Amino acid sequence: MTTHEKHDTARQFWIAASLSLFAALAFFFSTNAKLRDLDYTSQIASALLRGHLGLTEKPPEWLNEMIPHGERYYSAFPLGAVVSMVPVGLLQKAGLIQNFPGHVLAAFIAGSCVYFFFQLAKAFGSNYSKFDSNSLARQILLALFPIFGTWTWCNLGFGGAWQIALGLALLGETAALYFTLVRPSPFVAGAFFALAFGNRTELLITLPLYLYFLWRRSSPTTLNLSRISGIKQELGGNGPMAIRFLSVPATLALLTGAYNFARFHSIFDFGYLHIPEVRQEPWYEHGLFSIHAIPWNIYTMLFQGFESTSYFPYIQPNGFGCSILLARPFLCLLFREGGRYKGTAWMAIALLTLVLWCHGNPGSWQFSYRYAMILLPWMFLVLTGNGPAKISVSEISLFVVSIAINAMATWQFLWTDQIQP
């Protein structure tokens, strides 16, 4: 690496770090964690530190999704989501914090995601080695968009356990893509992938895509000859590369199976249908996942609109969902031509969307379609690759409109009583 390349790398890091800090602070001060008391994962993490898989005492009434089973109260969250909160449990055990820090965690997740989104945008820009203010502006815009220009701002801002789990899945996916496509490190990429699917189990279906990216990254047909030896040394052969990537995810998968079996006597039973009265809810008549749920999910995700009001701002989203395209006009740019990873990214979007559409409930209390947070890293790959190197007027306009819509929703949901369950 030349001196110029070292300076460019250092400058890139400090820009990304500064943008990440700005995003974390902006997120913290613009959100109000109304659901921070719904700390299911933190409660179970504290129980794990005491040697229990569930709570030994009856939880408070607002934690109504705890599962009474035998002499314990369990959570429907997967093991990965619980383990993610062990550091919080340790801080609580040491007396350094008292309550679940959902607000701080959400801001940390937002800032960390912006860091990796910026690095991805920088890497896939056509002016990778050239510092250009116009290209930099586009990279900053793209890095901020998934957090502040989408449903992530409002939903992650709620700060409850369900929202934090989605945020950690988003962070895990984004970081895994960075350590797969930009700075290849199979073990680190695998660890972040484990963070992702540990919080949202359906993300396991994207595993082959990450392995494909790593294999393609090490293929001589996709590399300059001068870089082959260096990349090969980083990745190793395809066999060792796959082993390093899979070591943490495989360990977590085995532990999750054991965790489920110890609680409900089945390695595939996460407990969701054991939540009191869930089986009686009409949308789960055909099970937790069913093709019968697809029409409702399609309508909520793509077609449901805003409601009109007689007071400012005269429109408001429904508290149980609205179209992601209506709420985020910037996503219209997904359909431009071109993109280095367009085919693979759209494959991931299609597979994950199909799973989400089969879920019996579109997401309950939310802004727009919160489950679609896990689609954003793959949408980002498309948006980063299919646009110009320099920022365009259309991108600026759609970005500003998207920010305005999501700022309005964040204000209405988190700072006012205009929208009630």
**d(C-alpha 420, C-alpha 44), whole Å:** 29
> Counting runs of H as helices and runs of E as strands, what totals does the chain give?
17, 4
How high is the pLDDT of residue 376? 97
Tokens 């939903």 belong to which residue?
155
Dmax over Cα atoms in the chain, in whole Å?
66
3-state secondary structure of 1: coil
Cis bond before residue 313 (omega within 30° of 0):
yes
**d(C-alpha 346, C-alpha 382), whole Å:** 8
* Distant-in-sequence, close-in-space partners of 419: CB < 8 Å, separation ≥ 6: 316, 317, 319, 412, 413
407 burial via Cβ count (<10 Å: 0-12, 13-18, 19+): middle
3-state secondary structure of 315: strand
**d(C-alpha 77, C-alpha 310), whole Å:** 40
For 284, 296, 318, 384, the CA distances from 304, given in Å and listed in that order, are 21, 10, 9, 27
**d(C-alpha 1, C-alpha 4), whole Å:** 8
Is-contact 196 176, C-beta < 8 A?
Answer: yes
**d(C-alpha 172, C-alpha 195), whole Å:** 5
In the chain, the amino acid numbered 164 is I
| φ/ψ bin of 315: left (φ > 0), alpha (ψ from -120 to 50), beta (otherwise) | beta
How high is the pLDDT of residue 311? 81
Whole-model pTM: value is 0.93
How high is the pLDDT of residue 226? 45
**d(C-alpha 405, C-alpha 315), whole Å:** 10
Phi first, then psi, for residue 415 (nearest 5°) are -120, -5
**d(C-alpha 382, C-alpha 113), whole Å:** 17
pLDDT mean values, one per 10 residues, the chain (421 residues): 67 92 98 96 96 94 93 95 96 93 97 97 64 80 96 97 98 97 95 98 96 78 47 59 94 97 95 91 92 96 90 86 92 87 95 96 93 97 86 92 96 91 74
In the chain, the amino acid numbered 257 is G
DSSP for 141-153, please give it: HHHHHHHHSSTHH
**d(C-alpha 419, C-alpha 310), whole Å:** 14
